[in-house]
Structure 1
Amino acid sequence: MKTKVAIFGGGVAGMSAAHELAERGFAVEVYERQPRYVGGKARSTDVPHSAAPGQAPLPGEHGFRFFPGFYRHITDTMKRIPYPGNAQGVFDNLVMTTRVMMTRFGKKPIVSIVNFPKTLDDWKTVVEAVLTADTGLTTSDKEVFAARIWQLLTSSYERRQQVYERIAWWQYMSTDQQCGTRQPCPYEEYCVGGLTHSLVAAQPKLMSTKTGGDILLQLLLLMANPSAHTDRVLNGPTNDVWLFPWLRHLQSLGVTYYHHHLTTEFHCDPQTQQINGVTVVNLDTHEARLVQADYYISAVPLERMALLINPQMLAVDATLGFIVDLAQPSRHSLNWMNGVQYYLNQDVPLTNGHVICIDSPWALTVISQPQFWPKFPMSGFGDGQVKGLLSVDVSDWFAPGLNGKAASECTLPEIIDEVWNQLEKSLNNGDAPLISRSMILRANVDSDIKEEDGQLRNPTVSAHDAEPLLVNTANSWSLRPEAATGIRNLFLASDYVRTNTDLATMEGANEAARRAVNGILAASGSSAPYCEIWPLHEPDILAIPRWFDRRRFARGLPWTGELPWIGRVLHTLNYYYHKLRGFRQ
């Protein structure tokens, strides 16, 4: 009989674990809370009551869509998901963006490239951005930013893990000397908060320097690599070109998928140190049943897992209590990042990539979708009248907007109105306005944003997010678990698990799933090959200064950008070079 594995949570982590296990001959069951969707926070959604007869509903996105070139785990899996006409499966549905636009209130937007320049137009764009950009950054600002990046590049892994993990990104990157009394502060807007807040989807004042630094370095290194693609997006709605084909493939491999099932309790026997079963509730019939398997993977998000940990589980593995601590509101480990879509009566391309609204109060990022969806024309959705689609992500739901209210304090109509006001103020600063309110045919806020006061921990907030995003806050690594637990047959696969990626992303979720599967392979004595796991890329050219810093760190010495012994090494090499030349002569 096949070894049976039950997976709870059908997001990217749960689907990734199911995929790896099914390919290795395991019997797999997945229990997912959503009634129809898969992919968790990666999914796209249908706008309710938007489809005319014979038409597909208008497509909406839950959150940010971004597949940077340093992703290796999730893209490896995508290559193994068949898609008609694609040699590399759904991976071939990723398309490269070429530009990024940074908008500012009252100033012309800055358009730059996101990849290493390859064409004359790329070089012209770079030169124009450098010569005409009115950022307000001083020479001192640029020198400080460069120094901070160089320190990250040349710091050893041990220093980053044990020192920078305990420092918030904002604290590491900024000092009181940068801004003085200038308001707003360009250095903080561009170099500390703006890019990080929007692209990495994290709170710069809370995120650890290890996490923020590692990811920012990956993006910068991609931009300097002539063969890399920094920013990629899907060529259609996420469900259509990735998640639903993935579900069909899993089912073809024998995976049984139970939709609309809520995980309510893990039954742990402290004597055997194992899980004996898991209670799930069918949300359609409200019937509870006990799921039993040889091994169990919890792929539910942090806030759900914290509620499922019970005294019996803690009696076997007390470190699971750190998950509960990590989910406490006082740690600010859970943030909101949700989408708002505007369906327009004309297409507004903006730029061939993402638009970062640097100084928007709610940290908006926007992308014009139709230019990347050639096989999914907007006329095929809704009533056929929509021609343009601006997909916006709100990254800061707790800062006051132009209306004086945080997004979390607004009703859904107020969110739609305020996001558009911020977009207009961000985008309409060039020679001609890019957008106007008259373009809007319909708008949609992600269905996870609810106006239900009764479910809130903070009674002053009028909305809540059903699926918040994990933020890797400073010094949170010590609370985060490995994929294998002290309970013999329980494994964890979610974005809060310790991974090389170290960020709440599709990549991190996939890597966590691979680690959980490897744990099951080891525990079961399977002869199947382990899942491959990759480290983040670190340039070989910097191996020497990192080795030098590792030696300094082992001696308790601080980082230094100087390599005093390099001169002696070069002098010695030069001496022997000339000696060798003289010998040959």
Structure 2
Amino acid sequence: MAEQRWPVSRRSFLRGTVAAGAVTAGAVAGAPGVTLAAPPGRRVAVLGGGVAGLTAAHELVERGFEVTVHEARALGGKARSVAVPGTGRDGRPDLPGEHGFRFFPGFYQNLPDTMRRIPVPGNPDGVWNNLRSVAEARFSRSDGDDILLALPDSPAAFTASPTEVRETLAATITTMSKMPPAEAAYFANRLLVFNSSCEARRFGQWEHTSWYDFVQGHRRSHEFRAIVSRSLTSLMVAAKEDLASTRTIGSMGEQFLGNPLGLGNDGGLDRVLDDATNIAWIDPWVAHLRGLGVRFELGARVEELVVRDKRIGGARISGSGGARTVSADYFVVAVPVERARALWSAPVLELAPEFSAMDRLYVDWMNGIQIYFRTPLHIARGHIALVDSPWSLTAISQNQLWRQKLPSFGDGSVADCLSVDISNWHTPGILFGKPAEECTHEQIFREVWAQLSAHLNDREQLLRPADVHSWFLDPGITWQGDRNANADPLLINTAGSWDARPVTHGPIENLFLAGDYVRTDVDLATMEGANESARAAVNAILDVSGSSAPRCPTFRLRRTPELEPLRLLDNDRYARGLPNMFDE
């Protein structure tokens, strides 16, 4: 764990100290249900109510600030669950839909820390106790040669030399795929190259190298490209292997493959919530924040930041009651990147010209469809990757994992839900020969069904059309006459994009950024990144305001400790212009 401190000028510190006064002594920020009284000069407007906005509100209100969250659509953002309108019957709630299924890898640390501080009756660790580990992952192929991989409930301790690390990784990769041993060994060595690279090389060389070039995908077999170039990018993080930064993908591979070697420190390798997201997490969170004094304004869309005297003097908000200007002492922009950069008007860019680099950031689509069944599914006790699907589909059957079973929703006849993520919207499918972005919603369902069937029904019929009750596509996808529009795209970490990403606090004294596009240690468009960035934003507010409240702890990704001496050697090699010692 490392606490981040953010630089602040003496002028800013003194101004904040005079305006804010001293924080009430003796209170403990961060303890559930404990808040500090807010003296004058502590009003914060949080613009956006997704994971970043809710995290910022949580940390701020515990430290004595008056917080109002302004959210245009629904609290929880892309992480929320979505009621399927009109499906509830006889007192049952509507069926739960979602933007896409989500999971909580064991290497997440910032978000679980927040979840532990959201109280739930009967749970000693609050919402965190609503996480459960999945038992296995299924890698399904269109030729029927599937792999069911058992996942450990908790990582085992591991101490080894670099050679043993490489051999263990190679054996794991061979087990998970049909990759020839020689190629598995090659990939394991590429991972060792990255894992033993120093920080300077990661940012100076690998940040500017695409993942496809790093693994030399053009020289490898179809199986290698399917698993290494594609599965670690499109299937896991909705990235394109020829665009994605090696630093980002390599870091995620370091964490995902490092967990089984004992690097994860917050539970099982792969965890999910034990109920629909709003039930298990978002609703308790919002209720807790309301109890602490956070105010929420829904249907409030930020349209403009008003600049006065080289500060943000207000935020223009539109809603059902018309447009108005919101005033506050500090403003936290916690909307997604495509909305944030729309706020950078000429007056804002005059004060913060570096924000214009955000126009270079690339977003893509990763949205979900839920298929509801009248009978239980028996596919895998965890996530399913459809390795050969042109739309890069991944899925999970949910009823087996939830406390509140699906027959208690809707009309009572739904026994299971297969929640499917579509990670590639631009490649033609196998049924209509069109990419998902050009398919009607009915065609998207039929194409997804065809690709699922090609992978799961090739040896036994795991999916039967007669069992389908209904389906629900992410409402962020809307048909616009001849193609779809997407209200919820996802940031993709392309090679060299780090330089275009902003820090939490720039030159505008009372403006702070929180979102998964902000520079973070986890460095990926994830709930963990959103949470980490919000913690950094709050720490910056504490510095500017002169607050003596405890800073938010921030947690860094862990790395294989046995390789640290090699990273020190690599630092010297990189400074001398030499390649990594394992870079063949």
**What is the TM-score when the length of structure 1 is the normalising length?**
0.87
Spell out the pairing of 1:62-81 with structure 2 (5 A cutoff). 62-81=99-118
Say if 2:530 is the partner of 1:502.
Answer: no
C-alpha separation in 1, matches of 2:104 and 2:128: 10
**What is the TM-score when the length of structure 2 is the normalising length?**
0.88
Residues 109 and 429 of structure 1 are in contact (CA less than 8 Å); yes or no, is this contact kept in structure 2?
no
Residues 153 and 217 of structure 1 are in contact (CA less than 8 Å); yes or no, is this contact kept in structure 2?
yes
Matched residue type, 2:128? F
Matched residue type, 2:505? A
Q: 1:256 to 1:334 in 2, by over 3 A?
A: same
Equivalent of residue 258 in structure 1, options 297, 303, 312? 297
Equivalent of residue 303 in structure 1, options 315, 335, 338? 338
Q: 43-52 vs 199-208, which deviates more?
A: 199-208
Greater Rg by CA: 1
Equivalent of residue 226 in structure 2, options 165, 185, 189? 189
Matched residue type, 2:578? L
C-alpha separation in 1, matches of 2:150 and 2:107: 17
Q: CA offset at residue 406 of structure 1? A: 0.3
Q: Which residue of 2 aligns with 1:340?
A: 369
Say if 2:186 is the partner of 1:144.
Answer: yes
C-alpha separation in 1, matches of 2:262 and 2:177: 25
Q: Which residue of 2 aligns with 1:203?
A: 240
Q: Which residue of 2 aligns with 1:575?
A: none
Q: Which residue of 2 aligns with 1:358?
A: 387
Say if 2:76 is the partner of 1:55.
Answer: no
Residues 378 and 462 of structure 2 are in contact (CA less than 8 Å); yes or no, is this contact kept in structure 1?
no
Q: Which residue of 2 aligns with 1:45?
A: 82
- For the residue of structure 1 that corresponds to 2:558, the secondary structure is coil
Say if 2:352 is the partner of 1:313.
Answer: no
Equivalent of residue 465 in structure 2, options 437, 440, 446? 437
Q: CA offset at residue 107 of structure 1? A: 1.7
Q: 1:154 to 1:383 in 2, by over 3 A?
A: same
Spell out the pairing of 1:409-428 with structure 2 (5 A cutoff). 409-428=438-457
Q: CA offset at residue 190 of structure 1? A: 1.3
Say if 2:350 is the partner of 1:325.
Answer: no
C-alpha separation in 2, matches of 1:325 and 1:390: 36
Residues 314 and 328 of structure 2 are in contact (CA less than 8 Å); yes or no, is this contact kept in structure 1?
yes
Matched residue type, 2:284? P
C-alpha separation in 1, matches of 2:397 and 2:358: 38
Residues 377 and 397 of structure 2 are in contact (CA less than 8 Å); yes or no, is this contact kept in structure 1?
yes
C-alpha separation in 1, matches of 2:364 and 2:556: 26
C-alpha separation in 1, matches of 2:206 and 2:176: 32
Q: 1:386 to 1:524 in 2, by over 3 A?
A: same
C-alpha separation in 1, matches of 2:457 and 2:79: 30
Q: Which residue of 2 aligns with 1:18?
A: 57
Q: CA offset at residue 108 of structure 1? A: 3.0
Task: Give CA deviations for 1:469-489 in whole Å, capped at 9, x if unaligned.
Answer: 111111000000000021110
Q: 551-560 vs 469-478, which deviates more?
A: 551-560
Residues 108 and 429 of structure 1 are in contact (CA less than 8 Å); yes or no, is this contact kept in structure 2?
no
C-alpha separation in 2, matches of 1:67 and 1:302: 22
Q: Which residue of 2 aligns with 1:377?
A: 405
Residues 437 and 484 of structure 2 are in contact (CA less than 8 Å); yes or no, is this contact kept in structure 1?
yes
Matched residue type, 1:358? V
Say if 2:544 is the partner of 1:545.
Answer: no
Q: Which residue of 1 aligns with 2:544?
A: 523
Q: 1:562 to 1:364 in 2, by over 3 A?
A: closer
Residues 154 and 268 of structure 2 are in contact (CA less than 8 Å); yes or no, is this contact kept in structure 1?
no
Residues 207 and 246 of structure 2 are in contact (CA less than 8 Å); yes or no, is this contact kept in structure 1?
yes
C-alpha separation in 1, matches of 2:70 and 2:89: 32
- For the residue of structure 1 that corresponds to 2:313, the secondary structure is strand
Matched residue type, 1:496? Y
C-alpha separation in 2, matches of 1:312 and 1:217: 42
- For the residue of structure 2 that corresponds to 1:60, the secondary structure is strand
Q: 438-447 vs 226-235, which deviates more?
A: 226-235
Matched residue type, 1:518? N
C-alpha separation in 2, matches of 1:207 and 1:191: 13
Task: Give CA deviations for 1:12-71 in whole Å, capped at 9, x if unaligned.
Answer: 00000000000001000100011xx31111111011211113011011121231100110
Residues 264 and 281 of structure 1 are in contact (CA less than 8 Å); yes or no, is this contact kept in structure 2?
yes
Say if 2:191 is the partner of 1:170.
Answer: no
Q: Which residue of 1 aligns with 2:25?
A: none
Q: CA offset at residue 200 of structure 1? A: 2.5
Spell out the pairing of 1:103-252 with structure 2 (5 A cutoff). 103-115=140-152, 135-179=177-221, 185-225=222-262, 228-252=267-291
C-alpha separation in 2, matches of 1:175 and 1:251: 51
- For the residue of structure 2 that corresponds to 1:111, the secondary structure is strand
Q: 1:399 to 1:514 in 2, by over 3 A?
A: same
C-alpha separation in 1, matches of 2:184 and 2:47: 47
C-alpha separation in 1, matches of 2:278 and 2:251: 30
Matched residue type, 1:42? A
Q: CA offset at residue 199 of structure 1? A: 2.0
Equivalent of residue 507 in structure 2, options 456, 479, 486? 486
Q: CA offset at residue 159 of structure 1? A: 0.4
C-alpha separation in 1, matches of 2:445 and 2:556: 40
Q: Which residue of 1 aligns with 2:479?
A: 451
C-alpha separation in 2, matches of 1:339 and 1:131: 28
Q: CA offset at residue 203 of structure 1? A: 2.3
C-alpha separation in 2, matches of 1:465 and 1:522: 37
Matched residue type, 1:345? R
Task: Give CA deviations for 1:487-524 in whole Å, capped at 9, x if unaligned.
Answer: 11000001110000100000000000011101100000
C-alpha separation in 2, matches of 1:437 and 1:96: 30
C-alpha separation in 2, matches of 1:175 and 1:194: 13
Residues 362 and 399 of structure 1 are in contact (CA less than 8 Å); yes or no, is this contact kept in structure 2?
yes
Spell out the pairing of 1:399-414 with structure 2 (5 A cutoff). 399-403=427-431, 404-414=433-443
Q: 1:417 to 1:552 in 2, by over 3 A?
A: same
- For the residue of structure 2 that corresponds to 1:107, the secondary structure is coil
Q: CA offset at residue 133 of structure 1? A: 6.9
- Unpaired runs of 5+ residues, structure 1, are 120-125, 180-184, 327-332, 454-460, 564-585
Q: 509-518 vs 221-230, which deviates more?
A: 221-230
C-alpha separation in 1, matches of 2:583 and 2:209: 23
Q: 1:118 to 1:208 in 2, by over 3 A?
A: closer
- For the residue of structure 2 that corresponds to 1:507, the secondary structure is helix
Q: Which residue of 2 aligns with 1:6?
A: 45
Matched residue type, 1:113? A
C-alpha separation in 1, matches of 2:285 and 2:174: 45
Q: Which residue of 2 aligns with 1:398?
A: 426
Q: CA offset at residue 378 of structure 1? A: 1.1
Q: 1:117 to 1:279 in 2, by over 3 A?
A: closer
C-alpha separation in 2, matches of 1:118 and 1:279: 49
Aligned residues: 529
C-alpha separation in 2, matches of 1:135 and 1:13: 36
Matched residue type, 1:291? V
Q: Which residue of 1 aligns with 2:135?
A: 98
Matched residue type, 2:355? L
Residues 307 and 324 of structure 1 are in contact (CA less than 8 Å); yes or no, is this contact kept in structure 2?
no
Q: Which residue of 2 aligns with 1:556?
A: 577
- For the residue of structure 1 that corresponds to 2:59, the secondary structure is helix
Q: CA offset at residue 137 of structure 1? A: 2.2
Residues 116 and 225 of structure 1 are in contact (CA less than 8 Å); yes or no, is this contact kept in structure 2?
no
Deviation above 6 Å: which 4+ runs of structure 1?
116-119, 129-134
